[in-house]
Structure 1
């Protein structure tokens, strides 16, 4: 799975406003298997929705 980073890399309470992942998830990304990566991406998407307009989603 492709890394979901969009090179925004600004954090609010430990969550990246660009991709929605936590710092720990970003650091562990390459070590996660495909299923774990899919789970992280799904959770990150939900975080971005809850962050609302201050999050920057790749469009």
Structure 2
């Protein structure tokens, strides 16, 4: 479990680095990684919102 969390942490930090590098005009592959990172973050954020909505509707 610790290894899995470590991998997730490394991928998160690398994705954040790609977003910063892409904002400064990095190569095409960095922009692709940055886009994937931003989309993954948006999906995680939306999944958190959906859970909150379900709780309030069920109560």
TM-score w.r.t. length of structure 1 = 0.40
TM-score w.r.t. length of structure 2 = 0.40
Larger proportion of helix = 2
Larger proportion of strand = 1
